[in-house]
Amino acid sequence: MRNNRSKPREQHSRRSPQNRPVPSADSFLDEMKNDIAAFFEINNKDSFSQNDVLDNFDIVDRKTKFIAHGLLGELADEGQLTRHPDGTYQFNETDRTTEGTVDHVNPRFAFVSTGSGDRDNDIYVSTDDLNGAIDGDKVKVVRLSGSSNSGGFSRGSQTRSRRIEGKVVSIVERGRSELVGRISTWPNYGQVIPDSKKIYEEVYIPKDKLSEAKDGDKVIVRLTRFPDSRHRPEGEVISVLGPAGQNNTEMHAILAEFGLPVDFPDAVEKESKGISEKIPKKEITKRRDMRGITTFTIDPDDAKDFDDALSIQMLDNGNYEIGVHIADVTHYIQPGTALEDEAFKRGTSVYLVDRVVPMLPEKLSNNLCSLRPNEDKLTFSAVFELTPDAKIKKEWFGRTVIHSDRRFAYEEAQDIVDRGHGDYLEELRLLNDLAFKFRDDRFRHGAINFETVEVKFKLDENGVPLSVYPKVRKDAHKLIEEFMLLANKRVAEFVHGLTRGEHPNVMIYRVHDSPDFEKLKTFATFAGRFGYKLQIDSEKELSKSFNTMMESLEGQPEQNALQQLAIRTMAKARYSTEDIGHFGLSFRRYSHFTSPIRRYPDMMAHRLLQHYLDGGKSVDKEEYEAKCKHSSDRERVAVEAERASIKYKQVEFMNRMDRDQEFKGIITGVTDFGLFVEITETSAEGLVRMTDLGDDFYDFDKDNYRLIGKRNKKIFAFGDAVTVKVKEANLARRSLDLFLIDDKGALKTPLKSRLTRRENTEGESRSQRRSGSSGTTPKTGKERRRR
């Protein structure tokens, strides 16, 4: 029903277009047109006269009225509006809305991710236009006409690009109802500053909702009112984690921030305890018995879950039989059980700096399923007959029983190989030689070396970091990795080869798409400024030149920065039922089969392999694709939590340093608000704010990722070596603020007048100041096997 009235029922905005800053005529018209279009979209059930529109936007001057009339005509000509015979306009029901998830990357704006996995396809939304949505919310967003230059080169990742702008119309589903943060208390209320760097407002807590929280505690808050244009968020304290700054408190806070569990439900623990530790003889008779073959495990020194083992025996024909044995988790965990449901829900184990949040209860992960030495264990195996040249002559897949003879730590196995003396020297050297041949073959066929710097911490009994050092990956690490890659690849190919019908058997694949050419081109240009030449015309030339660059980067100051930038340029690996291949490994098909203790997709792969070995038909693809998406999502959350724990320990370590101590670093990001610098000694990343570059005013050259002094013409660019001191180590937001030291060892201290002027012009709010660095951190722990 048309309703021609003076005031709309639901107003889009009370902002007055003619009172906004007008950088140019075109941008002013685009913004005004977008606002008018969004107003009709939000009020899509009603029609409005021209006067209704003018009244809504408080347009009173004659010139702006004339412009608004013209824009209404344009929108009608474009088909976005319908003009009725009575002269009123109404939104034309075309498909200009879409659903997506809010990623609030910056206090000023967010992206609404539409699920494509490519940031360039996401919709830019100003914070003012989020309509009360917060990070993680599923929303309906209207795409506006025109585009924006708002996609930024974030810490060296991508060039700016023109994006589609949007405005949130409605909130479909809240992504979170609970937040973690530090509370400040007053006599009649409290305020919680969220730990999440993507939540930019404090949460108000009424006095009667403070529970037992004390000033400075870390708490979990349930939101009772979400923010809108008139109200800030409100909540109630539902859990007190403990005093902020204590290791256990902070690790629990990280788990809570990312929605990760601390304990298993009672029903899960009860089921776990009820599983017998004895292997029935009847079960052994169903399996290939490989207990008499030399078998051992090689894992990190502090590992407790040994989910893979290698066996080796010499054959009479001069070949070798190598068995890759994986814990048979699905023998113990059956569909429809509480254990199964919890494993699916968690999706993966999570490795924080000082603890593991396992996917399975300890009885399974560290006992029944762990391939401990001198114990019979049930396994799922891939057994290969290999020639001395590492060519596969035969392969076999199925359930087995093994008996590990020895447990090696990586360092121990490496020491035996290097010294030429110790247990199973001949076997270790043979496996090492085969691994080198597999690795060389991969690189000849186009695999890319994604080696990155990993950091480890030495902690005291209270979890305080005493030192931080880079983790060195030696041949023993790569030995295990190559045989795991072999098993994962051959399992995927084997299942595909068992296809009997018209469509390929459904399988869980680990896929990695080819990189976007434009992103690759941008990275190649950027790497060229450091003297590294990338050939991007073909995948083969790309991999060869990419690996050459990675080798040349070894030990260089820009190593970690360029490695991380290169990885961000590539597509993200994920799980899927579509066998599109793995670009980084250069495998036509690739699965995850080798870590079912800590990854749910591997459990699915085991079940599907056995199903097809038993002659079963292909399964429901849509069901398994949904499980793949869930697994990919859980992996992403785990990675973010792991990085948060690393970042916290890096900041905690730097906070213990003398404030007068100087550190060598390299610029890893250049933005319009400052420089990100990675400290070489600790891999910790901090921010040198523009306001702390006090020797000059600096302009941001976004096309060349650098700052240029207006008077002295000094340039700070990505990759430059610099010297810094710690200005502030903020544990609450896991961020470092740094001072830059000039060539003479003097601080580039801020000028008071400059600071005031810049804060006024930039409108830097308290929430912007506490947003800090949200940068990437080096990988750690078992991320090495996440390919």
Which H or E run contains 12? none
Q: How confident is the model at residue 631 (pLDDT cuts 50, 70, 90)?
A: very high
Q: Please return the burial class of 744, using the count of CB atoms within 10 Å of its CB with bins 0-12, 13-18 and 19+.
A: exposed
Decide if 133 contacts 102 (C-beta within 8 A). yes
Tell me the CATH number at 86: 1.10.10
Question: For residue 712, how many other CB atoms are within 10 A of its CB?
Answer: 11
Mean pLDDT over 84-113 rounds to 85
pLDDT exceeds 90 at position 202: yes
* Residues contacting 116, CB < 8 A, separation 6+: 122
Residue 260 pLDDT grade (very low, low, confident, very high; cuts 50, 70, 90):
very high
Any domain includes 457: no
Tell me how far CA of residue 469 lies from CA of 455, 466, 631, 677, in angstroms. 6, 10, 31, 18
Place of tokens 């509370």: 183
Residue type, 92: N
Whether 689 has a pLDDT exceeding 50, the answer reads yes
3-state secondary structure of 233: coil
Residue-level pLDDT at 768: 37
- Tell me which of 45-54, 450-459, 502-511 is least confident: 450-459
**Residue 2 domain-assigned (yes or no):** no
Query: Biggest alpha carbon distance in the chain?
Result: 97
Give the domain-ending residue among 71, 91, 111. Answer: 91
- The per-residue pLDDT for 645 is 95
Last residue of a domain, one of 173, 206, 225: 173
Q: Are residues 562 and 695 in the same domain?
A: no
106 within some domain: yes
**Does residue 774 sit within a domain?**
no
Instruction: Classify residue 463: in a domain, yes or no.
Output: no
User: Domain residues for 291?
Assistant: 267-446
Give the pLDDT confidence score for residue 160 in this predicted structure. Answer: 39
Whether residue 595 is found in the same domain as residue 612: yes
Q: What is the CATH number of the domain that holds 209?
A: 2.40.50.700
The yes-or-no verdict on residue 237 having pLDDT over 80 is yes
Q: What is the mean pLDDT of residues 184-198?
A: 93
pLDDT score at 749 = 53
Q: Coil, strand or helix: which one is 259?
A: coil
Angle (CA) 496 293 589, round 5°: 15
In this predicted structure, the answer to whether residue 747 has a pLDDT above a threshold of 70 is no
The answer to whether 159 and 198 have CB atoms below 8 angstroms apart is no
**pLDDT for the residue numbered 739:** 93
Measured distance CA(227)–CA(230) in Å, rounded:
8
652 lies in a domain?
no
DSSP type of residue 368: I
Q: What is the pTM of this model?
A: 0.79
| Separation between Cα atoms, residue 441 and residue 485, nearest integer Å | 12
Read off the pLDDT of residues 518-548 as tens digits, 9 standing for 90 and up: 888 888 888 887 888 888 887 778 888 888 8
CA dist list (Å): 481 to 132, 389, 397, 573: 47, 18, 19, 17
**Percent of the chain predicted with pLDDT > 70:** 87
Does the pLDDT at position 161 exceed 70? no
Average pLDDT rounded to a whole number, residues 114-132: 80
- Which range among 58-67, 469-478, 746-755 shows the weakest confidence by mean pLDDT? 746-755
Higher pLDDT, 562 or 275: 275
User: Same domain for 574 and 672?
Assistant: no
- Residue 25: the pLDDT is 62
At residue 555 the predicted structure's pLDDT band, cuts being 50, 70 and 90, is: confident
Of 138, 84, 105, 596, whose CA–CA distance to 381 is shortest? Answer: 596
SS3 527: helix
The answer to whether residues 120 and 72 belong to one domain is: no
Joined tokens for residue 611: 């199903």
Indicate the average pLDDT of the chain: 85
- CATH number of the structural domain spanning residue 709: 2.40.50.140
Half-sphere exposure of 94 (CA within 13 A, CB side): 16
pLDDT at 382: 98
Burial of 18 (0-12, 13-18, 19+ CB in 10 A): middle
Residue 490, CB-side half-sphere exposure with 13 Å CA sphere:
22
Read off the pLDDT of residues 705-730 as tens digits, 9 standing for 90 and up.
889 999 989 999 888 889 999 999 98
Residue 147 has pLDDT above 70, yes or no: no
Q: Which helix (H) or strand (E) holds 254?
A: helix 247-257
If one counts the domains in the chain, the total is 6
Provide DSSP, 459-475: E-TTS-EEEEEEEP--H
For residue 574, pLDDT over 50 is answered with yes
d(CA 354, CA 248): 9
The full DSSP string for 599-642 is BHHHHHHHHHHHHHHTTPPP--HHHHHHHHHHHHHHHHHHHHHH
Distance CA 308, CA 264 (A): 24
Task: Choose the weakest-confidence range: 65-74, 319-328, 459-468, 485-494.
Answer: 65-74
Q: Are residues 295 and 385 in the same domain?
A: yes
Q: Under 8 Å CB-to-CB from 712, ≥6 apart: which residues?
A: 695, 696
For 142-210, what is the HEC assignment? EEEEEEEEEECCCCCCCCCEEEEEEEEEEEEECCCCEEEEEEEECCCEEEEEECCCCCCCCEEEEHHHC
DSSP state of 485: H
- What pLDDT, on a 0 to 100 scale, did the predictor assign at position 767? 37
Least confident piece of the model among 66-80, 99-113, 145-159, 642-656: 145-159
Share of the chain above pLDDT 90, in %: 58
Q: Are 216 and 210 in contact (CB under 8 A)?
A: no
| 493/570 same-domain check | yes
User: Do 280 and 398 reside in the same domain of the chain?
Assistant: yes
Q: Is the pLDDT score of 785 beyond 60? A: no
- Provide the pLDDT confidence category of residue 239 given band limits of 50, 70 and 90: very high
Residue 22 lies in a domain: yes
Answer yes or no: do 350 and 440 share one domain: yes
Q: Which of 91, 119, 140 is the last residue of a domain?
A: 91
> Is there a single domain that holds both residue 117 and residue 72?
no
**Residue 762 pLDDT > 60, yes or no?**
no
Q: CA-CA distance, 331 to 381, in Å (whole number)?
A: 13
Same domain, 139 and 189: no
Residue 263 has pLDDT above 80, yes or no: yes
Q: Quick check: is 310 in a domain?
A: yes
- Both tokens of 136, joined, read 């993680």
Residue among 146, 5, 9 at smallest CA distance from 80: 146
Question: What DSSP designation does 547 have?
Answer: H
Cα–Cα distance list, 298 to 302, 351, 409, 442 (Å): 11, 19, 5, 22
Q: Which of 785, 686, 17 is nearest to 326 (CA)?
A: 785
What residues contact residue 662 under an 8 Å CB cut-off, 6+ apart? 723, 724, 725, 741, 745
Residues 516 and 589 in one domain: yes
> Among residues 193, 192, 191, 197, which one has the least CA distance to residue 136?
197
pLDDT at residue 308 greater than cutoff 90? yes
**pLDDT at residue 584 greater than cutoff 60:** yes
Q: Within 13 Å and on the Cβ side, how many CA atoms surround 435?
A: 20
Q: Is 26 helix (H, G, I), strand (E, B) or coil?
A: helix
pLDDT band at 745 (very low <50, low <70, confident <90, very high): low
Four-point Cα dihedral 197, 198, 202, 206, nearest 10: -110
**Higher model confidence: residue 121 or residue 293?**
293
What's 505's DSSP letter? P
Q: Mean pLDDT throughout 183-206?
A: 93
Same domain, 86 and 107: no
Residue 546: the pLDDT is: 86
What mean pLDDT do residues 319-347 have? 97
